[in-house]
Chain A
Amino acid sequence: MVKSLSKRIGNAVILLLAVLVLNFTLIHIAPGDPVEVLAGEMGGATPELLAELRADFGLDQPFHVQLFTYLGNVLQGNLGYSFYYDKPVTELIFDRIGATLLLVITALLFALFVGTALGIASAQKRNSLLSNVVTLLSLAGFSAPVFWIGIMLILLLSVALPIFPIAGMATADEPEGNFAYILDVVWHLVLPALTLASIYLAFYSRLSRASMLEVLESDYIRTARAKGLSRFLVVYKHALRNAVLPVVTFAGLQFAQVISGAVLVETVFAWPGLGTLAFESILRRDSPTLLGILFFSAVLVLVVNIVVDIAYRIIDPRISAK
């Protein structure tokens, strides 16, 4: 366990270095000279000044020297500086990461629990009404753009029927007291989390349904039934553990895509997380911030993958036995 874990962490570090190299290469080969942009903002500069600026920023150095300087900076926790926000990128990211994690984790847990429950329930009876509804919903969830689902939910549940707030994470004039504040945030969280969950809800219900159907046909389930155990006990005690394995695997594999979804959902609901930060940095053409977010999400994805790996071993002890 420890050995395979340290191998995974080593692997993760290599992947992160590769992300940094990619980031740097992209900036390097992209059209547009940062020094000329800067000079443009200062209102023009002589060629001598341009050369001086270039030397100041180390832009006259060869590619590999610049790359190593960049890597060294990142290792010291310096992901660059956002001129628009006038703040270091790491600081910006740490300001926003909490909101994103809250949204993503709520949506994922919701999708996992409800999706698995729907899938298992619809696996009990093929061609039942529930089973058809699940199939239909999952088809719809695959086909509609997630940001559009969010906008439609706003039109329905915030505009036509004003139940939920339209945007943001908390009411502008904060309600008194901790409990009221938490309630306020939860109230704001409902629609974005539901929107983000919708894609994965469909997916998990389909996956757990297929996997449950397969497990229910295996010999050990028949044995358990033959012993006289109730159907309920067999499904929820014997079959569930095995049926949920592929769902857990996919939840880990898909985490990168969940972050992509969060970028869109946060933008729709003006949820103050990394996604809106990414959206804003596109508007401002603030590439250090956008690249910082890309790097940081890769870190997040790798951490989640390692956590899922551990969870997987707890659910299925056969894996560590091998």
Chain B
Amino acid sequence: MIDSSLDNFNTEPMEKPASPARQTWKMFSSNQSAVAGLILLAIVLIFSLVGPLVYQVAPTEMVWMPLTPPLESEYLLGTDYLGRDILAGLINGGRITIAIGASAALLTIVIGVTIGALAGYYGGWVDNLLMRVTEFFQVLPNLLLAMVVVMLFSATLTNIAIAIGIVSWTSTARLTRAEFLRLRSMDYVRAERSIGAKNRRIIWAVILPNAAPPLIVSAALSIGTAILFEAGLAFLGLSDPNNMSWGRMIGDNRPYILDSWWGVTFPGIAIFLTVLAISLVGDGLNDALNPKLRKR
């Protein structure tokens, strides 16, 4: 009896557990809306990164009669009030919009994570001081502050990205701080400290990787926020005069909405789809990286 039960016992080595990245991907790819977002995002990226190579019409030049409606000329989406091709604007504007969005988001994350990490790790007066600074930036309407900065320092692509970055880091800082407060007294952090690790190492090499999941989600979402922000600034006339962007197209064409609905509608749809795709991917990442927090 005993022997036979032992015979039945499976002595094959257990299957190796999937790596965390694999598990995350498995979770992510089983989430329909996240995958839809990823596909949409890929389409947007191909459209605006490869598009200019395929469709070579200058977005800032007059190519046809002004205010031609869509489908009535070789310029499929019509032309704006200066006779500029809307499709060319969308393709070339996308590159600028995405570039500004991504670099502003990068700056947001760098500032936010640094301030949040230092405040959460050191606590005490450092925390107090840094949280006051954060509070200060939360009290100022961020769009107005960015408007002031861009207007005073002229609207170049770099200045716009910097302005967006320095006004939008507060929520990332708070999130990072909360994570560091939670993690700093964990046993593995104490162990690291007991063997004499320097603060710098504990912050960046020990705690930060463990705080990464929510920060990755926040980084993804902040690209979407930065794109909306850039669009807002451009709509108000604060865009680089040498470059087309989706927000600038809406701003440029707004006075002519009675004559052309297409000039404002298409760039808006482009922004909407891009930010939607980023939000879907961000939400999917959130569920995949943090299964416990899954929405009910």
- Interface flags for B142-177 (1: CB within 8 Å of A; 0: not) read 111101110111100000000000000000000000
Question: Please, which residues of chain A bring their CB within 8 A of the CB of B247?
Answer: 145
Q: Can you list 15 A-B contacts (CB < 8 A)?
A: A27-B152, A31-B154, A126-B296, A142-B224, A145-B268, A147-B232, A152-B265, A256-B138, A264-B232, A282-B147, A282-B236, A287-B152, A290-B144, A298-B140, A305-B139
A145 touches B232 (CB 8 A): yes
- The 8 Å CB contact of A26, one of B143, B152, B236, B265, is B152
Which of B232, B238, B275 has the most chain A CB atoms closer than 10 A to its own CB?
Answer: B232
When chains A and B are docked, how far (Å) is the Cα of A305 from the Cα of B135? 12
A148 touches B264 (CB 8 A): yes
A72 to chain B, nearest CB (A): 22
Give me 7 other A-B pairs in contact (C-beta within 8 A), A31-B154, A264-B236 excluded.
Answer: A15-B139, A144-B268, A145-B235, A155-B261, A155-B264, A256-B142, A290-B144
- Interface flags for A132-172 (1: CB within 8 Å of B; 0: not) read 00000001101111111001101100010000000000000
A257 touches B152 (CB 8 A): no
Q: In this complex, what residue of B is CB-closest to A154?
A: B257
A25 to chain B, nearest CB (A): 11
When chains A and B are docked, how far (Å) is the Cα of A285 from the Cα of B147? 11
Is B218 on the interface with A (CB-CB < 8 A)? no
Q: Please list the residues of chain B having a beta carbon within 8 angstroms of any beta carbon in chain A.
A: 135-136, 138-145, 147-149, 151-154, 224, 228, 231-232, 235-238, 247, 250, 254, 257-258, 261, 264-265, 268, 271-272, 275-276, 279-280, 296
A151 touches B139 (CB 8 A): no
- The 8 Å CB contact of B148, one of A152, A159, A290, A305, is A290
A10 to chain B, nearest CB (A): 13
Question: Please, which residues of chain B bring their CB within 8 A of the CB of A297?
Answer: 140-141, 144
Question: Please, which residues of chain B bring their CB within 8 A of the CB of A263?
Answer: 141, 143-144, 147, 236
A144 to chain B, nearest CB (A): 5
B258 touches A139 (CB 8 A): no
When chains A and B are docked, how far (Å) is the Cα of A53 from the Cα of B247? 40
Question: Please, which residues of chain B bring their CB within 8 A of the CB of A18?
Answer: 136
B200 to chain A, nearest CB (A): 29
When chains A and B are docked, how far (Å) is the Cα of A154 from the Cα of B135? 36
When chains A and B are docked, how far (Å) is the Cα of A31 from the Cα of B279? 38
**Given the contacts A30-B152, A302-B139, A148 and B144 also touching, CB distance less than 8 Å:** no
Q: Please list the residues of chain A having a beta carbon within 8 angstroms of any beta carbon in chain B.
A: 15, 18-19, 23, 26-27, 30-32, 126, 139-140, 142-148, 151-152, 154-155, 159, 213, 253, 256-257, 259-261, 263-264, 267-268, 278-279, 282-283, 285, 287, 290-291, 293-294, 297-298, 301-302, 305
B143 touches A260 (CB 8 A): yes
A152 touches B268 (CB 8 A): yes
Question: Please, which residues of chain A bring their CB within 8 A of the CB of B153?
Answer: 30-31
Question: Please, which residues of chain A bring their CB within 8 A of the CB of B264?
Answer: 148, 151, 155
**Given the contacts A143-B275, A278-B144, A282-B236, A159 and B258 also touching, CB distance less than 8 Å:** yes
B148 touches A26 (CB 8 A): yes
- The 8 Å CB contact of B141, one of A30, A147, A151, A257, is A257
A259 touches B144 (CB 8 A): yes
When chains A and B are docked, how far (Å) is the Cα of A24 from the Cα of B296? 49
Q: In this complex, what residue of A is CB-closest to B153?
A: A30
A256 touches B151 (CB 8 A): no
Q: In this complex, what residue of B is CB-closest to A156?
A: B261
Question: Please, which residues of chain B bring their CB within 8 A of the CB of A253?
Answer: 138
A290 touches B147 (CB 8 A): yes
- The 8 Å CB contact of B231, one of A126, A145, A152, is A145
Question: Please, which residues of chain A bring their CB within 8 A of the CB of B250?
Answer: 145, 147-148, 151
A202 to chain B, nearest CB (A): 11
Question: Please, which residues of chain B bring their CB within 8 A of the CB of A151?
Answer: 250, 254, 257, 264, 268
Question: Please, which residues of chain B bring their CB within 8 A of the CB of A140?
Answer: 272, 276
Which of A159, A263, A283 has the most chain B CB atoms closer than 10 A to its own CB?
Answer: A263
- The 8 Å CB contact of A159, one of B136, B257, B272, is B257
Q: In this complex, what residue of A is CB-closest to B271?
A: A145
A31 to chain B, nearest CB (A): 7
